A and B are shown apart, each in its own frame.
Chain A
Amino acid sequence: MPLVGAGIVWLVSSRGLQAVRTSAATTAVLTLVATGLLILRYLMSDEALSNQVFAMASLPWLTGGIFNIHLSIGLDGLSLWLFGLSALLSLTAIFVSWEAVTERAAGFYMLLLVLEAAMLGVFVARDIILFYVFFEFTLVPLFFLIGIWGHDERRKAALTFFIYTLAGSVVAFLGLMTIVLWNATHTGSITFDIDMLTTGLSAHPLPMDADGGYLQWLVFLALLIGFAIKVPIFPFHTWLPLAHVEAPTGGSVDLAGVLLKIGIYGFLRFSMPMLPEATAVAAPWLFAVGAFGIIYGALVALVQQDLKRLIAYSSVSHMGYVVMGLFALEPVAIEGANLQLINHGLSSAGLFAMVGMLYERFHTRSIQSLGGIAKKAPWLTTLFMLFTFSSIGLPGLNGFVGEFLILTGSFQRAWTGVSPNFQQSYLIFSLMGVFGVVLGAWYMLWAVERVFFGNSRLPPSYSINGAQNSLDLRWHEIAAISPLAIFILWIGITPAIFLAPPSQSIRVMTYASSNAFNRNMQPTKSFFGTEMITEKNKINSHIDLPEIFLTSQKQSPVKQ
């Protein structure tokens, strides 16, 4: 649908800016409505209860020889909200660019819509090659968005972004193909269908030992490289600040909001269910890396002078939480991580959008040269505060729910789920996560304080822009960010609605990994004589869930 929209934008491109903008926005709105309806239908359908894939469509694409590639798409609980988020943020991206992009506007909106199509495609793809096609294709529109409409260093940023990510994803591609071939050899059926591969691999796992050439390890590493660069996980994050700072606002919104999630989605979709043993062994390390990422991102953010760069590093920090939650391999934490994906998508996209607005008004993003905006633009400040609070995890807003669940899960893992040798380090890393929350509040609030409050230190360009009526939000800016604000409040108040649908499929996805992890930690039970891991815990770990999730799980499909 966005592709059709892109075609329309191209057709009307001769009619001038207004026609282009309007048609792009209309397309995005229509897509969003369609997406919303699809999500509602999913929630009300039987598939939501039984965790089946919904809205499945499948056409053969390339078959013959060893290929059995289908154009198959479908939604399940895991992809549900990310799918919606993509549609929502694309609308935001179009609205924030309303005034900012006037040069070669048709191309810009076309690329935004193409990007939207690719992002939506990633989350609905049920075929491993189709997933990869969309996964890589997101690079192309974003490359042009950064390179043409970006800021001063845009060429370098675009090239770095493209090559870095491409190098990672081609390696991941090898991993994916190995999975397919292994499955084909051992089940005798050539399939590229993700679900069938998952089941096939759980029946015939890739070998972990030397006899099997450490194949599972190799595949896991290949996927890790690809997804870790995309996320980005701490040591691979260097492309991110550059790309974010140089990207136009619309690009940043999509980049931060959706593209960073694709890596995590890849872990959940491929690494965890398909390579459980390797995941289980690697989990403590990645848990630690996540914790380091939190602290590192926060500390670097603390010293930034550029507001956009600060938010970019805060993304690194937040992605650290998600990674930590993911590799705690505790259902609560993983659900939290999944929710945190949405949260971060909303809050960081909102923050990037608003920094873009500030830049339009004052032509600077430097924290030092701004100040006292609150008096001139109260609404802008209010919304910025909202996104800030969401980002630092204030109770009542969405960020809190996600971080709380992640940390709960991590501590739960640290106290009851690991062998004593690991316990101490797990505790330390979980505490690092807590400390990261404090740091997060520090750098965000400090920056807000300097930019919005205090003496009015508006830069000279203010007077030029001052010719406009007001410094406060304009209608298209409200249209861009108010949906985000609404969802931030909504998730903060009733998280159960958002937690319940993915819960079941997350469990199915990560069951094998947590199980393997628990098994790895098992031998210490006899070693210490205490019942570290009960039998119940091992097989049926959701007993530990807070009551709210169990009830919501039963109720929510009925409620909606």
Chain B
Amino acid sequence: MTTSFETFLLLSPEITLFLAALIAYLAAAFSGFQAGWLIAVTGLGIAISLSGSQPESGATISSGPITIDGFSFYIRLLTYTAGLMLALVQSGDYWKAAVQDNDAEERRRVTGEEAGTFLILLVGLSLVGLANDLVLFFIGLELVSIPTYILLALKRTDAAGQEASLKYFFLSLVASALFLYSVVCLYGLGGSTSLPAIGNQLQSLGCTVAPISAGSITVGTITISMAAVLLPVTLGMAFAGAAFRMAAVPMHFYAPDVYEGTSTSNTALLSTLPKIAGVVMLSRLIALAIPPVGSPQNSGPVAETLLLQSWQVIAILAAITMTVGNCMALLQNNLRRLFACSSIAHAGYLLVGLAALAAAATDRRGPLGGESIEETALSLNGLGSTLFYLATYVVATIGFFGGLTYLGHRWPEWSTSSDKQPQLEEIKTVDDLNGLSSTNPIAAFCLATFLLSLMGIPPLAGFWGKLSLVTSSLSVDSGIAVFGDRKAWFIGLSVVLVLNAAIAAAYYLRLITAMYFKSTDKGVQADGGLSSGLAMIACLIVLVSISIRPQGLFNSALQAGNTLSGTLVTETMALFTTNTSTTSNMLIREEIENGIR
């Protein structure tokens, strides 16, 4: 673990952000500098430009505890882009506060600290993606969690806000502790804190032991039987930790309360950034059992067991999560609660791709599938599609909450000529959106587009995401389905996914119905600040460009996914873009036509 100058160079975006955070803190504390968010946005801009370009799926630059490969690059860029949008949304909150509160001096200082805390959160998330080492991985996760507590507590000071932040704090601590336990177990299994070393160990575990007699020793003092005990514990704990971050069943129950209790802009944060962390946690874990790109070697029984258990557990959890989230959302009337439930459902969709990743990996290497590489290479990389879906989800969600923050409050009545200032109502429930298309058509259009995308209506970005998820799930063992086999599992999972998409349409459409088909006598204040409006428009532009031309993002996600799943994308491409059987197809066609004549 040498830390060299190179490490610093590779970490330059994170270091920039950290410095920006420090400046924001210091400026807020000493000079009362107002524009903490300005620093944040600038820092993010520099950080994104420093990130460079995505490495090929085979190429990995490792230095000390960090590694930069296609995957971590994707996560980093996604984090920073999402962070940029979120910073705009969050600063909208500040503007709103500045307009409303008289105690502007106080608010300013808080804002500087908020911006700094937020930047540290982003650094943490990026480190999670970059970490090549269990310790750094865990530190990154904590750097995500702790600023989140602070942000939650800073934003709202009423009882509901405090309840929310406290609830999140305690539950998150439990989740972190559980994950820490699985980290310990991994260390026990692998004998190292370095992820590649653990991976190697796991893959070779059991391979070197030809005759499994009385508890034969593979490495150190670990026996196969002990691995068999440790493995489920590790997986269970890690799943619990990741499920909390993603708000997936069974760790989902906090989401509606916490989301409802915090501010709209924090909801945007909570429903996106921790999800990214959760996806990274699970995918890194699964990837431990997959040999690196181009490796001829097969993984041993322990790694196989890991994959087997993880895809089964994830698939079941995915189905339950989607269904629970969507069914709960049908009953909600509060917008933030509704989106909490919908974010649970989306966590379920994300898990589908991870299940496909684990299953496809088993298939390729292990004793279960036994099919040739050509056939299995057909299966779309599940991780790639999850990452792709994650991006489309993040854009639409941030855009939606940006819009809500921008709208802010509404007048109790449309035209009040009374003397006293009317009491503004915060937009909270679905009914508060009534008639938005006439009071604020641009915002209504943007929100409707985000909702349609989350629904998965073609040709919007969400559709491409769902398309790739369904494809990756269906393409596991894309041969013959035999009931009881895992092909049937994944067909079932796909059916659950698409039916859930239809259920989800019901409650998303309720919002659109409210905005477009209902009328209202209340006006919209739109006091959420211009910057959140800007975030909304920016998200719309990104979303529409992904919709029209999904290729770029998709390739990038696929490359990122292939880095971890050990598939060489170039091979697959070369094999299948040449339509070898075109001529034979034509022959058959002619034959048919001749037969008819």
Task: Give B564-588 interface residues, CB cut-off 8 Å to A.
Answer: 569, 572-573, 575-582, 584-586, 588
Tell me the complex Cα distance, A162–B507, Å.
12
Contacts of A207 in B (CB 8 A): 480
Taking CB as reference atom, which chain A residue is nearest B593? A508
Separation in Å of the B349 CB from the closest CB of chain A? 13
Q: Assuming the A-B contacts A159-B509, A174-B470, A190-B378, are A203 and B577 also in contact, with contact meaning beta carbons closer than 8 angstroms in the complex? A: no
Binary contact readout A196-229 vs B (1 if CB under 8 angstroms, 0 otherwise): 1011101100010001110100100000000000
Separation in Å of the A150 CB from the closest CB of chain B? 9
Asked if B459 lies at the interface with its beta carbon under 8 angstroms from chain A, I say yes
Contacts of A181 in B (CB 8 A): 378, 471, 474-475, 478
Contacts of A507 in B (CB 8 A): 596
Asked if B210 lies at the interface with its beta carbon under 8 angstroms from chain A, I say no
Contacts of B480 in A (CB 8 A): 207, 211-213, 215
Which stretch (A80-88, A137-145, A287-295, A516-524) binds chain B? A137-145
Taking CB as reference atom, which chain A residue is nearest B438? A104
**Judging by beta carbons under 8 Å apart, are A65 and B572 in contact?**
yes
Tell me the complex Cα distance, A198–B585, Å.
9
Which stretch (B126-134, B184-192, B495-503, B522-530) binds chain A? B495-503
**Judging by beta carbons under 8 Å apart, are A199 and B551 in contact?**
no
Tell me the complex Cα distance, A328–B496, Å.
34
Contacts of A166 in B (CB 8 A): 501-502, 505
Q: Assuming the A-B contacts A202-B592, A213-B483, A539-B595, are A61 and B551 also in contact, with contact meaning beta carbons closer than 8 angstroms in the complex? A: yes
Tell me the complex Cα distance, A218–B474, Å.
13
Tell me the complex Cα distance, A91–B597, Å.
39
Q: Assuming the A-B contacts A66-B379, A181-B475, A540-B596, are A136 and B458 also in contact, with contact meaning beta carbons closer than 8 angstroms in the complex? A: yes
Separation in Å of the B565 CB from the closest CB of chain A? 11
**Judging by beta carbons under 8 Å apart, are B498 and A173 in contact?**
yes
Task: Give A513-560 interface residues, CB cut-off 8 Å to B.
Answer: 539-540, 542
**Judging by beta carbons under 8 Å apart, are A133 and B463 in contact?**
yes
Asked if A377 lies at the interface with its beta carbon under 8 angstroms from chain B, I say no
Interface residues on B, range: 35 or more
Asked if A126 lies at the interface with its beta carbon under 8 angstroms from chain B, I say no
Q: Assuming the A-B contacts A66-B471, A199-B588, are A190 and B576 also in contact, with contact meaning beta carbons closer than 8 angstroms in the complex? A: yes
Task: Give A169-186 interface residues, CB cut-off 8 Å to B.
Answer: 170-171, 173-174, 177-178, 181-182, 184-185
Binary contact readout A66-78 vs B (1 if CB under 8 angstroms, 0 otherwise): 1110000000000
Residue of B501, B502, B518, B578 contacting most chain A CB atoms (<10 Å): B502
Tell me the complex Cα distance, A174–B505, Å.
17
**Judging by beta carbons under 8 Å apart, are B596 and A542 in contact?**
yes
Task: Give A38-66 interface residues, CB cut-off 8 Å to B.
Answer: 51, 60-66
**Judging by beta carbons under 8 Å apart, are A62 and B554 in contact?**
yes
Separation in Å of the A70 CB from the closest CB of chain B? 12
Asked if B454 lies at the interface with its beta carbon under 8 angstroms from chain A, I say no
Taking CB as reference atom, which chain A residue is nearest B381? A65
Asked if B86 lies at the interface with its beta carbon under 8 angstroms from chain A, I say no
Asked if A274 lies at the interface with its beta carbon under 8 angstroms from chain B, I say no
Binary contact readout B137-165 vs A (1 if CB under 8 angstroms, 0 otherwise): 00000000000000000000000000000
**Which of A132, A167, A512, A539 lies in contact with B458, CB distance below 8 A?**
A132
Tell me the complex Cα distance, A517–B253, Å.
54
**Judging by beta carbons under 8 Å apart, are A189 and B483 in contact?**
no
**Which of B475, B549, B579 lies in contact with A189, CB distance below 8 A?**
B579
**Judging by beta carbons under 8 Å apart, are A191 and B579 in contact?**
yes
Asked if B296 lies at the interface with its beta carbon under 8 angstroms from chain A, I say no
**Judging by beta carbons under 8 Å apart, are A139 and B470 in contact?**
no
**Judging by beta carbons under 8 Å apart, are B516 and A147 in contact?**
yes
Q: How many residues of A contact B (CB 8 A)?
A: 64
**Judging by beta carbons under 8 Å apart, are A213 and B488 in contact?**
yes
**Majority DSSP secondary structure for residues of A touching B:** helix
Tell me the complex Cα distance, A196–B498, Å.
26
Separation in Å of the A142 CB from the closest CB of chain B? 12
**Judging by beta carbons under 8 Å apart, are A213 and B487 in contact?**
yes
**Which of B375, B488, B502, B569 lies in contact with A167, CB distance below 8 A?**
B502
Asked if B61 lies at the interface with its beta carbon under 8 angstroms from chain A, I say no
**Which of A178, A189, A215 lies in contact with B580, CB distance below 8 A?**
A189
Asked if B482 lies at the interface with its beta carbon under 8 angstroms from chain A, I say yes
Separation in Å of the B571 CB from the closest CB of chain A? 12
Tell me the complex Cα distance, A218–B501, Å.
20
**Judging by beta carbons under 8 Å apart, are B474 and A174 in contact?**
yes
Task: Give A370-416 interface residues, CB cut-off 8 Å to B.
Answer: none
Tell me the complex Cα distance, A178–B513, Å.
34
Asked if B558 lies at the interface with its beta carbon under 8 angstroms from chain A, I say yes
Taking CB as reference atom, which chain B residue is nearest A140? B457
Asked if A460 lies at the interface with its beta carbon under 8 angstroms from chain B, I say no
Contacts of A162 in B (CB 8 A): 505, 509
Taking CB as reference atom, which chain A residue is nearest B513? A155
- Contacts from A to B (Cβ < 8 Å): 51, 60-68, 129, 132-133, 136-137, 139-140, 143-144, 147-148, 154-155, 158-159, 162-163, 166-167, 170-171, 173-174, 177-178, 181-182, 184-185, 187-191, 195-196, 198-200, 202-203, 207, 211-213, 215, 218, 507-508, 511-512, 539-540, 542
User: Can you list 28 A-B contacts (CB < 8 A)?
Assistant: A60-B551, A63-B551, A66-B380, A66-B471, A67-B468, A132-B458, A136-B457, A155-B517, A162-B505, A173-B470, A173-B498, A177-B467, A181-B475, A187-B581, A187-B585, A188-B575, A188-B580, A190-B577, A199-B585, A200-B585, A202-B592, A211-B480, A213-B482, A508-B592, A508-B593, A512-B592, A539-B595, A540-B595
Q: Besides the contacts A203-B585, A508-B592, what 8 more A-B pairs have beta carbons closer than 8 Å? A: A67-B468, A166-B505, A171-B495, A182-B478, A185-B375, A195-B589, A207-B480, A213-B482
- Contacts from B to A (Cβ < 8 Å): 374-375, 378-381, 384, 452, 457-459, 463-464, 467-468, 470-471, 474-475, 478-483, 487-488, 491, 494-495, 498-499, 501-502, 505-506, 509, 513, 516-518, 549-551, 554-555, 558, 569, 572-573, 575-582, 584-586, 588-589, 592-593, 595-596
Please name the 3 residue pairs, one residue from A and one from B, whose CB atoms are nearest each other, closest first.
A213-B481, A133-B458, A170-B498
